[in-house]
């Protein structure tokens, strides 16, 4: 009865770590991101969403993060709930932590795709174009072919 299985011991360690991290999860707590694209980046907790998620900012992108992906450090910064990015940058500079400011690319308007088919007439062509008259219409083809084929049929008889 006194023997604890390895699985139970592991679960208890995880549970204890999770409880410890919950206690230290507070606004202004300095952390290190341990998972994802921004791993190994220092961040600070800006807001708590619920028991499992917080909003972080710092050397990482400002976004919500699972608390299991954070390793809390011993320092707490003097920040209010929902602090602006400029406030976070100021506090990080006080600690001597550099933040790399990323500049977004300038957005250009996409060129419009030209349609195939009818070509637009230039202004000169539009002005110089005469109105449609009966003379410009093509005359209808006569049905000569049918008459000739009837003659051929009659000749064969």
User: What confidence tens digit (pLDDT) does each residue in 8-62 have?
Assistant: 666 655 555 555 555 578 999 999 999 999 999 999 999 999 989 999 999 999 9
Domains of the chain (ranges, CATH numbers): 6-95 (2.30.30.30)
Phi/psi for 20 (5° steps) reads -65, -40
80-111 pLDDT, tens digit each: 999 999 999 999 999 888 888 777 788 888 88
Total count of residues recorded for the chain? 157
């Amino acid at each position: 009865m006194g023997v604890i299985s390895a699985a139970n011991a592991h679960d208890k360690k995880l549970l204890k770590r999770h409880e410890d991290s919950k206690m230290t999860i507070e606004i202004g707590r300095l952390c290190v991101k341990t998972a994802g694209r921004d791993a190994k980046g220092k961040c600070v907790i800006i807001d708590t969403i619920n028991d499992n998620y917080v909003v972080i900012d710092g050397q990482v992108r400002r976004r919500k993060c699972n608390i299991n992906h954070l390793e809390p450090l011993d320092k707490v910064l003097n920040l209010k709930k929902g602090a602006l990015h400029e406030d976070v940058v100021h506090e990080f500079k006080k600690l001597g932590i550099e933040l790399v400011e990323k500049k977004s690319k300038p957005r250009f308007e996409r060129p419009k795709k030209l349609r195939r088919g009818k070509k637009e007439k230039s202004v000169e062509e539009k002005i110089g174009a005469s109105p449609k008259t009966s003379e410009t219409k093509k005359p209808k083809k006569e049905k000569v072919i049918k008459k000739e084929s009837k003659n051929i049929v009659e000749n064969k008889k």
